[in-house]
Amino acid sequence: MKFLAPQAAHGYYAFLALALAGLAPGCKKRAVQPPAAVVSTLKSAAPFPMGSAVVSGSLQNNYYYQGTLLAEYNSITSDYELKFNIVEPQQGVFNYTPGDYIVSFAAQHHLRMHGHNLIWHQALPDWVLHFQGDSAAWENLFKTHIEGEAAHYKGQVNSWDVVNEALRDDNGALRNMDGKPGDGAGSVWRQHLGPDYIARAFQYAHEADPNALLFYNDYGQEWGGLKLDSMIALVTGLKKRGIPISGIGMQMHIDINADTAGISAALKRLAATGLLVHVSELDIAVNPGNNPNIVFTSALQLQQAALYQFVAESYRANVPAAQRYGITTWEFSDADSWIPSFYGRKDWPLPFDAAYKKKPAYYGLMKGLKD
Ligand code: XIL
């Protein structure tokens, strides 16, 4: 900026004062307009889509929810209503009512629609968990579900998480139900369909909706180690074989103690696969120790804000523009986060507070998106 000599500056400010008052020579007197407010939103600040997980009930009934979502976001992901237990509660009986609401809401408001998910070892109805049948019967169940759901939303869903969380946390092997220690919640899919079920899930989804972008989605990439190695091996292997995979989802359910170097390293390695990279379920918990007496102090708020900023900056720094599928938060208000009920504790993981007001986390995220 050029500085004016004090005299000239004085004249300039005197003129400005007169002009504002409408009294400068040559100025017609008219009402002084305040400068237009510069309104910044997440979607306008981000050089890529900004998404949120959503539920149909809140889209219908909660004005704060709908208003905030439409102001700030341009992409949505179904939170739980496109999962297996909702969509096919009994074999061959499909229930698309809540999912259809979400998908048509996206179309009506010109939002990108990301479907979550076709195959997961959780959110399964009892009939699947107790299904008795040989491998052909299991394959038929699996194929029918994927094709039924992907075909129902053909042309209306931009992308799918085809397979969610197939890998073990401890050693990156495929979840199974072979009783080996460390398997955690094993997978009936691997148990009954064999190790190549992931590739077939992508093929079935692609046949049903050839234009949808197909993702493998998981958590824990930021830990590095065997789980990340094996995820990279999985997706690069699929890609090499010509299996129609377009991207990888990094859930990023992290907490304020997350290792920032691990986040950047994972983003870099995921980007090096050449696939699209979606930060697909971001939230930042502040009470990972389940402290029942925790208070969300301003120090914690600022720590959370700094980490939101870091995630956005690291995504921009490590993922080339052409591979950025965007950042999706898992809901956006602390009122709607899955963390308090899932972990049975107080927590405040999202950018908006429970009254849908912007938190420091929001401003941290905003800063990371554009600075
Ligand atoms: C969560 C939903 O938000 C909850 O409503 C549900 O009770 C449990 O699942 N990883 C995922 C998401 O891939 O599907 C999960 O969503 C959160 C963890």
pLDDT tens-digit readout, 258-274: 999 999 999 999 999 99
| C-alpha of residue 251 to centroid of ligand 1, in Å | 10
Q: What is the pLDDT of residue 371?
A: 77
Instruction: Write the DSSP symbol of residue 96.
Output: -
Q: What is the pLDDT of residue 1?
A: 33
Cβ-count burial 252-269 (b if 16+ within 10 Å, e if not): bbbbeebeeebbbbbbeb
Give the Cα separation of 317 and 371 in Å (integer): 11
Query: Would you state the torsion angle of the CA atoms of residues 70, 153, 247, 203, taken in this order, to the nearest 10 degrees?
Result: 180
Percent of the chain with pLDDT over 70: 90
Q: Which of 134, 114, 151, 129 is nearest to 84 (CA)?
A: 129
Residue pair 149/91 in contact by the 8 Å Cβ criterion: no
| C-alpha of residue 116 to centroid of ligand 1, in Å | 10
Task: Pick left, alpha or beta for residue 33 (phi over 0 → left; psi -120 to 50 → alpha; otherwise beta).
Answer: beta
> CB of 281 closer than 6 A to ligand 1?
yes
Q: What is the pLDDT of residue 19?
A: 39
Tens digits of residue pLDDT in 153-198: 999 999 999 999 999 999 999 999 999 999 988 999 999 999 999 9
Give the Cα separation of 127 and 124 in Å (integer): 8
> CB of 187 closer than 6 A to ligand 1?
no
> CB of 81 closer than 6 A to ligand 1?
no
Q: What are phi and psi of 194, to 5 degrees?
A: 85, 170
Give the Cα separation of 351 and 361 in Å (integer): 5
In sign, the C-alpha dihedral spanning 236, 242, 247, 249 is negative
Ligand 1 atom closest to the CA of 53, numbered from 1: 3
> CB of 64 closer than 6 A to ligand 1?
no
Q: Which of 280, 284, 286 is nearest to 267 (CA)?
A: 280
Residue pair 226/193 in contact by the 8 Å Cβ criterion: no
Give the Cα separation of 284 and 208 in Å (integer): 35
| C-alpha of residue 58 to centroid of ligand 1, in Å | 16
> CB of 251 closer than 6 A to ligand 1?
yes
| C-alpha of residue 79 to centroid of ligand 1, in Å | 7
Catalytic residues: 165, 281
Residue pair 321/290 in contact by the 8 Å Cβ criterion: no
Ligand 1 atom closest to the CA of 116, numbered from 1: 14
Give the Cα separation of 285 and 253 in Å (integer): 8
Enumerate residues 6+ apart whose C-beta is below 8 A from 346: 287, 292, 294, 340
Instruction: Write the DSSP symbol of residue 27.
Output: P
| C-alpha of residue 121 to centroid of ligand 1, in Å | 12
Q: What is the pLDDT of residue 34?
A: 67
Question: What number of residues does the chain have?
Answer: 371
Mutation test residue for ligand 1: of 81, 83, 338, the one with most atoms within 8 Å of CB? 338
Tens digits of residue pLDDT in 273-292: 999 999 999 999 999 999 99
Residue type, 287: N
Give the Cα separation of 302 and 159 in Å (integer): 34
pTM, rounded to two decimals? 0.91
Ligand 1 atom closest to the CA of 331, numbered from 1: 3
Ligand 1 atom closest to the CA of 341, numbered from 1: 7
Q: What is the pLDDT of residue 5?
A: 38
Q: What is the pLDDT of residue 25?
A: 46
Helix, strand or coil, per DSSP, at residue 109 = coil
Give the Cα separation of 248 and 43 in Å (integer): 21
> CB of 218 closer than 6 A to ligand 1?
no
Give the Cα separation of 60 and 278 in Å (integer): 27
Low-confidence residues in the chain, pLDDT < 70: 1-31, 34-38
> CB of 340 closer than 6 A to ligand 1?
no
Q: What is the 3-state secondary structure (H, E, C) of 184-243?
A: CCCCHHHHHHCCCHHHHHHHHHHHHCCCCEEEEEECCHHHCHHHHHHHHHHHHHHHHCCC
Give the Cα separation of 241 and 50 in Å (integer): 31
